[in-house]
Amino acid sequence: MEEYQASLLRNIIGQKVDPIALQTVNSQVGSTIWHIQLLEFTLIHYIVMVYGLEPGVERETAFRVLDEVSVKTLGQLIAELRKNNDLDERLDHRLKAFLKERNWLIHRSRADSHLAVYYPDKLAVLIRRLDTLTVEALNLRKAFTSRLEAFMIRIGRTERDIFMATVDQLKRQGVI
């Protein structure tokens, strides 16, 4: 498939595409998107556990609420956090900047960066931008995971409870 894409681009622009650059871009874009999705997954669970459930709620109700929140976009999840006054100024700024970069990746990165497969300097700039976005997704995910764990312990859950809930969720998703 990459050879087909390289051939198509070469015909359009008249310059040979570096197939390794094309593979690198495709791989990095995919990896970055998956890290963003993992952050969204974490925010969904954080919002549901901290704001969406009453103590002692039945398991099926909890999963229904989780399914309802799971359809929200990243922007909607961030708005939910703001609505609940759960963000200090620094974290709010980070999420706002992250959302802007995420939207660039999904909506404009191809148009803005298509020459990266022809020019090594443009490729390096694109890969750095994607790496930065990936690292911030990971760091935000860690921050909200820590906040969720602290919340769970505050309401009386043990680390074992948290572990078992994680295993249950992974089973529900077919991961294990």
Q: What is the pLDDT along the chain (176 residues), one digit of tens a residue?
A: 566 666 665 555 667 788 898 999 999 999 999 999 999 999 999 999 898 877 778 878 888 888 999 999 999 999 999 999 989 999 999 999 999 999 999 999 999 998 888 888 999 999 999 999 999 999 999 999 999 989 888 888 777 877 777 777 777 777 67
The amino acid present at 167, given as its one-letter code, is: V
Angle between helix 19-47 and 120-154 (nearest 10)? 20
Is 27 domain-assigned? yes
What does pTM read for this prediction? 0.82
C-alpha triplet 41, 112, 36: angle, nearest 5°: 10
The residues, any chain, with a CB within 8 Å of residue 153's CB and separated by 6 or more, are: 159, 162
Cα gap 143→137, rounded to integer Å: 10
Cα gap 33→167, rounded to integer Å: 24
Is 12 domain-assigned? no
Per-residue confidence (pLDDT) for residue 12, from 0 to 100: 57
Is 160 domain-assigned? yes
- Identify whether the C-beta of residue 35 lies closer than 8 Å to the C-beta of residue 137: yes
Per-residue confidence (pLDDT) for residue 140, from 0 to 100: 98
Cα gap 2→120, rounded to integer Å: 18
Structural domains of the chain, count = 1
User: Which range of residues forms the domain containing residue 66?
Assistant: 18-172
Per-residue confidence (pLDDT) for residue 18, from 0 to 100: 84
Rg, C-alpha atoms of the chain:
20
CA 51, 57, 59, 63 torsion-angle sign: negative
Is 94 domain-assigned? yes
Output the CA torsion 49→55→61→66 (10° steps): 0
